Structure formats: structure tokens, C-alpha cells
Chain A
Amino acid sequence: MKVELRVNGQIRIADVEPRQTLLDTLRDDLHLTGAHAGCEHGVCGACTVLLDGDAVRSCLIFAVQADGYDITTVEGLAPAPGELSVLQDAFCEAHGMQCGYCTPGMILSAHTLLQRTLTPSREDIVDAISGNICRCTGYGQIVEAVELAADRLRNSNALRATEEVSK
């Protein structure tokens, strides 16, 4: 079956079997290997991508179900080639990773949280990444990385919606 996928702002046509997951399509057909294949049954969160801005597991969606949606992978977060988003940079600075396998999923889950609020509590952060398993860091530095990113975004000079500023 032919599907039209809008990935990171670009439209790509892929010819897929119905049983092919969005994850495998992104990795094997579109060569976007940022979404990682971990458990492949919806437990680990390494394959997290954004579907119309919401974090979802790409191993639990078939590519045929995903046509027409706006898909964002971790490759789509950086403002320009060779640069990092504020959140990605905070993960580097706070050592929010060791082996890096869970990192793209962690970043996308945390990204959706920071899209909603720049004043997340520790509980909000833990809840946002509760569906992402890390087997190296013990989560402490990941939470710190998200706190650091929230702090930097809050104090940046970027133009934001007024309700965010007034918070």
C-alpha cells in the first residue's frame, strides 16, 4: 500500500505492507534512525515520535494508519543542521544520557511537556517521561536536564504567547 507521510515538514511517499510499523518505515524506508527500536511492543518508549504534536509510540502504529498526520522525529527538533534544540543541549550539559538508546524518546516526551508549560514541577516531568525506560542513568540526570531546559526557555528572550509570559 502507498502511504503519504508528512515527516519533519516534508512529504514522503512510501510503499509499505500493512503490517509494517511506522517505526520500521521511518528507520528502513526514510532512513531516519533517530527513533529507536527497543521492545517493539509498546513498553520501552525508545521509538517515541510526535503525531500532530502529541508523543506516541511509533512501534504501536502501522504506517498505513499514519498517513495525513504531521510526524515529528527527533531529527526534526533541531533548529538547523548541526545545531541542537535547547532541550537537546540541556541533555548534553546535565549528562542526561549514557548509552543514548532511550534519549530520542526521552527528549520527545519531555519536548511535549515543555510545549505545554515552562514551569513544570518535578512530578510533571516524572509523569511526562513515565512511559520511557532508561537502563543507565537512573533518571535523576534526565529530570535535571528537563528542569535545566525549562529554566533556560523560561529565561530566554524568545517571543512567546502572553499567557506564558504572565505565568
Chain B
Amino acid sequence: MKPAPFEYIRPESLAQVCELLADDEDARIIAGGQTLVPMLAMRLARPARLIDILRLPGLSGIREEDGAVVVGATTRQAHALQSPLIASAVPLLAQALPWVGHPPTRNRGTVGGSIANADPSAEIPLVAVTLGAEIVFATPQGATSMPADDFFIGPMVTSIMPGDCIRAVRFPVWKHSRVGVGFHEISARKSDFAFVSAAAQVAVDAEGRCIEIALGVGGVGERALRLDVSHLLGTRLDAASIAETVAAATAGLEAANDLHASADYRRRVAATLGARALGDAYANAVEHPEGAVR
């Protein structure tokens, strides 16, 4: 369990990071290292160079900007979990973060690292896809961004190009006054990889009718997916309509089949947890008195 030798570099600027990455295809970025270091220890990854971005100025921090909460790539998951801004403006992320690893891994693990790693069962990518977040990155040609849905391709595969480095994730803020969230996950042990996870965010009007809705599932297939439940818009959600809609939305999902869970099991659990998350989100939204959230 000892990594193979590598060269360690701590660059001074993001431009230098992009340069180093573009010049050497065996170079990898390290930030919190909570996934990469185990991969190195098991020699599943053998980069020649590690480029440490954790101390780069300007890459860490949480701020509100143009209708979104911008979470810097090297923001620790533990800091995001304690953030009052995330709790009030991106409640779904706040709800999902306690499921990310354990307290000691959240103290080192970063939000951008979880996005870059693109594990199909990871919670932060699921929230990013569900809410339609933007991934902002630096490239040798300058800054650019991409919707999370285009960013994630498959297990540990993203659209990122050699020379690119994630700078931040922009989570959209729902401006409605009554917003509720729900998050559920099944795994073998607390904080282990999810077999299936489901995240939902719902906004309701004064009469309790649904005016905005988002539901996503993770762990089922090769990447987190947002499901189409839009025909619940304009209705008051009840157990029957939720169950029927989510069952239809999950029925045709391509699901992974492995030692831990069969594809059929994953689809069944996706329907159940999806309905549960949506039910919680709706109940949570209705509970909010007008104007209580934002």
C-alpha cells in the first residue's frame, strides 16, 4: 500500500497549473487527495507528477453571485457543510453533504475534487446534475464553463480536456419563497458508496401547487441523472401521483449490475427513493410559511 514515486509540484498560479497539465499527460492534479491517494496507494493510478492546487489563492470559498452560489473548487466539503449561505440558498447541497464520506475525509476532501472524480454514486455530482449547476474551469485558452449535465460522461469520465482545471461550481439559487428538499441514499455501510441515491428539490406557490421541480438519481447507472417529472408542475403532489410519475421516469433506466446490487434492484430502489425524496421535498416546501426561506 505504498504509492509509486512521483514528482510533487506546488504551482503559484492557475495559469501555471494549466501549463503543467498541458505539457505532461502523466501529470495529475491533487487537492484534498481523499480519492486520489487511495488510488495511488493501490497503484490504480501512477501519475509521474502531482500538481498540488490546494493552496492556490482564489480557488477556495463560497459566495453568491448572479443568482448562483459559487463554490470554489478547493473548498473543503466540511466548510461547505458548515456554510450558512449553502444552507439557505442551496439547501439540497446542504442536505446531501452529510452523506459525503466521513467527518475526517470531509475535512480534506474538496467540492471540486468530487466533481472532477465523477464517481457515479457521489453525492455532489448528483446535486450538480439535479439542480443544473455549471462547472467553471480554467483552460490554457482562458476561463470557460459547462453545464454539469454535459460535463459528466461516465464512471470517472468527464468532458475535461488535458490542460483544464476546475475552478468552481455554480449552483443555481431558486428564488421562490417556499422551497423544500429531500435526499435519500442506500449503501452497505454509513457513508460507503451508494447503491442508489436520490435528490429532490421542489418549490410551491401560496396554494401549495408545485411551481418548480427537480429530481435526480445517482449510483444507478454510469453517471448521475436528472429525471423528467415536469408533468407534476402545477399540481399538489400526493403519494399516488409521485409514485406513479417516479416509477415511469425510472422504469427505463440503464442500471449497473454488480456484486453489490443487481440492475433490477437498483431500478426498484431508484423508484422508491426517488418518490421518498420528492415526497420529503414537497412536504418540506409546504411546511415553509411564506417568505421563511429567502
Contact = CB atoms under 8 A, between A and B. Distances in A.
Interface of A: 1, 17-19, 21, 39-43, 45, 48, 51, 54-57, 59-62, 64-65, 109, 112, 127-128, 130-131
A60 B102 contact: no
B1 A40 contact: yes
B143 interface: no
B8 A56 contact: no
Given A19-B2, A131-B104, A65 B54 contact: yes
Contacts of B38: 41-43, 60
Contacts of B103: 55, 109, 112, 127-128, 130-131
Most buried by A among B37, B50, B54, B104: B104
Nearest to A1: B8
Given A17-B5, A56-B104, A130-B190, 9 more contacts: A39-B1, A41-B41, A55-B107, A56-B108, A61-B33, A62-B8, A128-B103, A130-B102, A131-B104
Contacts of B50: 18
Most buried by B among A57, A64, A127: A57
Instruction: Determine the main DSSP class of A at the interface with B.
Output: mixed
A61 B8 contact: no
B101 interface: yes
A107 to B, nearest CB: 13
Contacts of B104: 45, 48, 54-57, 109, 131
7 contacts: A18-B7, A19-B4, A40-B2, A48-B104, A56-B104, A60-B34, A131-B103
A42 B190 CA distance: 15
Contacts of B41: 40-41, 59
Contacts of A56: 104, 107-108
Contacts of A64: 8, 52
A42 B104 CA distance: 10
